[in-house]
Structures are given as structure tokens and as C-alpha cells.
Amino acid sequence: MRAALAVAARNVGATGDNPSVGCVIVKNGAVVAEGVTDVGGRPHAEETALAGVDARGATAYVTLEPCAKRTSGALSCADHLIKAGVARVVIAARDPHPFADGAGVARMREAGIAVELGLLEDEARAQNADFFARWDKG
């Protein structure tokens, strides 16, 4: 997760209204891919990390809960992770935005992915403090 936070740090402040998220894919004990929310807010970190890598059976470390819905109607990051066949997703912080808000976690668990929440949560929240201040109404 430290690696994912370091990846996310690259675009903090450059992703518009979206938070800067980091995603690292680990397979057989090695990092095989990484992604950060692109400048302007899209593509999302998970999309970039999953592009062009065989993530079947891998673990994804994500600094924010993957989205369950997109304004564009495109496939959400939760769906991308399911489609890629990822076995385990470790998340730093729950996403308070209505397009996630627990729904990303629920969708992945329903699909049989082992989901863990809360690893280095304080660091992840501090990284996108403005985003959490805007959406997290407790």
C-alpha cells in the first residue's frame, strides 16, 4: 500500500474534482503493474493499472475504494477488477462519493473477490483531504 500511496502522490492536485488514486497490482509476490488517476481525473488508476496486464489471481492495492458507477456510463473500476479476475483487493479508504460509498466493495465481494479495507487509511485520507472534506458527511 505504501507503493500505491507513492504512485497516487504523483497526481495529487492535478486530477480536478476527482481524488488522485494509486493502484498497484501484485502477482506472485512481484509488482506487475501500477496506475494513478490521470491528470484531469480520468482514466482512473485501476483502469490504467489493469490495461495490458494479466491480473488473473493477482492482488490489487488501491488507495481508495474502486468506483461502482461512472458518470460516463463506462465500466466502473469495480467491474474492471472483477473482469480482470483479480483474487484480492486491498483498499486504504472507503470512497464517500455516492458512486462508490460501499457499493464498490459490495460488488467485488459478491463476485467472490476477497476485499480488505482500512490499510494505511489515515495516510490515504490525508493525501486527498479536500475530496474527503467535500464528500464525507460522516
Please pick, from the candidates 27, 44, 69, 107, the single residue that binds Zn ion as defined by CB under 5 A. Answer: 44
Min dist. Cβ of residue 29 to Zn ion (A): 26
Please pick, from the candidates 36, 67, 68, 91, the single residue that binds Zn ion as defined by CB under 5 A. Answer: 67
- Nearer to Zn ion (CB atom), residue 107 or residue 125: 107
- Can you say whether residue 13 is alpha, beta or left, with left for phi > 0 and alpha for psi between -120 and 50 degrees? left
Q: Could you tell me which stretch among 48-56, 71-79, 91-99, 123-131 binds Zn ion (CB under 5 A)?
A: 71-79
Which member of 46, 65, 116, 123 is catalytic? 46
Cα 11 to Cα 8, 39, 73, 85, 115, distances in angstroms? 6, 7, 24, 27, 25
